[in-house]
Amino acid sequence: MSDFGLAASHVGLGLRREMLSAVLEQQQASIDFFEVAPENWLPYGGTYQKKFRQLTERYPFICHGLSLSLGSPDPLDLDFVRQIKAFLKEHQIKLYSEHLSYCSAAGHLYDLLPIPFTEEAAVYVADRIRMVQDILEQPLVVENVSYYAAPGQELTELEFTNAVLELADCKLLLDVNNIYVNSVNHSYDALAFLKGLPTQRIAYGHVAGHYRQHDSLLIDTHGADVSDPVWALLSEAYQHHGLFPTLLERDFNIPDMQQLQLELAHIRRLQPNDPMKLRA
């Protein structure tokens, strides 16, 4: 069991409010943990909070944020970070992850935009990650993100990602779908990128679906079933990095729980049986 309360073999699901009733009505034995965006729950009290509390008492939960805006030129929103800290403490959540991107610049931009792949930006973002961790008094895990342009690029995506992880001394949320989407959109070797990430920094992983706009343009939507190439890349991730907790994301076009459980079961089928491939 890791410091975050998850075992390497744990399989999770991103919880959306549309799923609340189904999850509450029946124990989901196939789901080891849930992930939520705290921004989607902080504003709500009453019935939503009561139902959410019922679930956090039944299952392990982790948080995956949307608006910390680590790469923004604006100062960190420290009041928001303190709200997150209180939310994590209230629900005894030990893992909080965010995107290696930004979503604000003199106002909220309502999208996750790429941070310039430069050494200066890596230092800047790492300093902000450390600041967040100091306030939260717990680690911040950062996710490799999908992007469609790379303005001001001086480093490769892999060099930039590894530089931030090293400078901030933080953990990685390994998003397998994002690697595949970026490899198609930016014409690089997905497997080489995957193998270039530091095994010891992987806290957990994501898989999700995407939309094929064109043979050379994939859109990271989280609105479709996971594709065969992403499943294959997840299998490669286990073979190279060992087993790690893995979560299925589905943000819209959400099927019923039975269909989601088929994809969760597929994650388990890909998990290696060799004990040497297990990670604590």
Average pLDDT over residues 119-129: 98
Give long-range contacts, CB 8 A cutoff, 24+ apart: 123-130: 123/167, 124/71, 125/70, 125/71, 125/100, 125/164, 125/168, 126/163, 126/164, 126/167, 126/168, 127/168, 128/70, 128/71, 128/76, 129/70, 129/164, 129/168, 129/170, 130/168, 130/169
- pLDDT value, residue 279: 60
**Mean pLDDT throughout 184-212?**
97
Residue 267: count of CB within 10 angstroms of its CB: 21
Question: What is the pTM assigned to this prediction?
Answer: 0.94
Question: 209 with 226: CB under 8 angstroms?
Answer: yes
Q: DSSP class of residue 39?
A: G
Helix 257-270 with 228-241: angle, nearest 10 deg: 40
Instruction: Determine the average pLDDT of the residues in 44-69.
Output: 89
Q: Is 72 left (phi over 0), alpha (psi -120 to 50) or beta?
A: beta
Burial 98-112 (b: 16+ CB within 10 A, else e): bbbbbbbeeeeeeeb
- What tens digit of pLDDT does each residue of 161-190 get? 999 999 999 999 999 999 999 999 999 999
- Average pLDDT of the residues in 53-75: 94
Geometric angle at alpha carbon 98, from 267 and 265, rounded to 5°:
10
Q: Is the pLDDT of residue 46 over 80?
A: no
Q: Are 248 and 226 in contact (CB under 8 A)?
A: yes
Mean pLDDT of the chain: 92
**Lowest-pLDDT choice from 50-54, 94-98, 124-128, 241-245:** 50-54
Between 151 and 243, whose confidence is greater?
Answer: 243
Higher-confidence position of 42 and 132: 132
Taking 60 as the threshold, does the pLDDT of residue 145 lie above it?
yes
